[in-house]
Amino acid sequence: MSKLVLFLGILLMIGAIGILLFFVLLPEDMQSNQSVAAIHDALFCSPGEHYRQDIGGLVYGSDTQPLGRELTIYCENNEGQPRDVTGRSIAIMMGAFAVPFVLGLFMTIGSSIAMTARWSRRLMASAGSPPVTVYTNVPGKGVQHRTTVTQLSDAQVPAEAAEMIQQIMAGFQASAAQMQADEPNDLVSKLRQLEEARSANLISASEYDRLRQQILDRMDD
């Protein structure tokens, strides 16, 4: 829907520019065209009158720089009597340009904002949230872990990242299982592995402290 509104808004602005160019930059040979003359008569003149315009000499500003040419627009009846409609004609021209242009501009801006917001939501949803691993120390079974992933959409963890996570989890789980089976002289190595797991944010601070205390207690024994 936003794309359609954006397309229509752009068309309206292009059409408004075309209308302005039709009134302002219409070649003189086209102004004598019957269809063009009929449009001018209907827009600017009363029934029975015909549209006429005279382009005079240059108009200069205060710095003697030419600003343009003097334009006089009038309607001429069947008796040849002119009626000045310059102000009214310019107002009609500006209105014919401004209304579709402003409407198209608002449609374009509004649809662009809506599309940008939707793309931002999709980008955030595709990113999801990082996996959270919860470790539980079960007596007799070693340290067990459970990984959960909170997703905002159907986005999945890339295969490479998932494989790496599985390898890390498998290595740490094996190390945790050996922590209870190894002899006390190997507890220092397990303590180092626990430090590495904490540095990699694989376990929480509280779980690290608890497991570390268990290792230290075994070393004391």
- Write out pLDDT tens, residues 3-51: 888 899 999 999 999 888 887 776 565 666 788 888 888 888 999 898 8
Residue 159: predicted pLDDT: 61
Rounded to 10 degrees, what is the CA torsion of 109, 114, 115, 119? 140
Residue 75: predicted pLDDT: 92
Q: Mean pLDDT of all residues in the chain?
A: 75
Residue 215: predicted pLDDT: 75
Mean pLDDT value across residues 56-78: 78
The 82-84 sheet, strands edge to edge: 50-60, 66-76, 82-84
Q: pLDDT-based confidence at 192, cuts 50/70/90? A: confident
- Is residue 182's pLDDT more than 80? no
Mean pLDDT value across residues 105-124: 84
Is 173 in a helix, a strand, or coil? Answer: helix
Residue 103: predicted pLDDT: 94
Computed over its alpha carbons, how large is the radius of gyration of the chain? Answer: 40
Domain boundaries along the sequence of the chain: 2-125, 132-220
Phi-psi category of residue 154: left, alpha or beta, with phi > 0 → left and psi -120 to 50 → alpha: alpha
- Write out pLDDT tens, residues 118-156: 877 777 665 555 555 655 655 555 555 565 555 444 445
CA distances from 218 to 22, 25, 212 (A): 93, 94, 10
- Write out pLDDT tens, residues 159-176: 665 566 666 666 666 665
- DSSP 8-class letter at 184: G
> Which residues neighbour 137 within 8 Å (Cβ) at sequence distance 6 or greater?
143, 144, 207, 210, 211, 214
Residue 175: predicted pLDDT: 62
Residue 154: predicted pLDDT: 44
Share of the chain above pLDDT 70, in %: 66
- Write out pLDDT tens, residues 89-102: 889 889 989 999 99
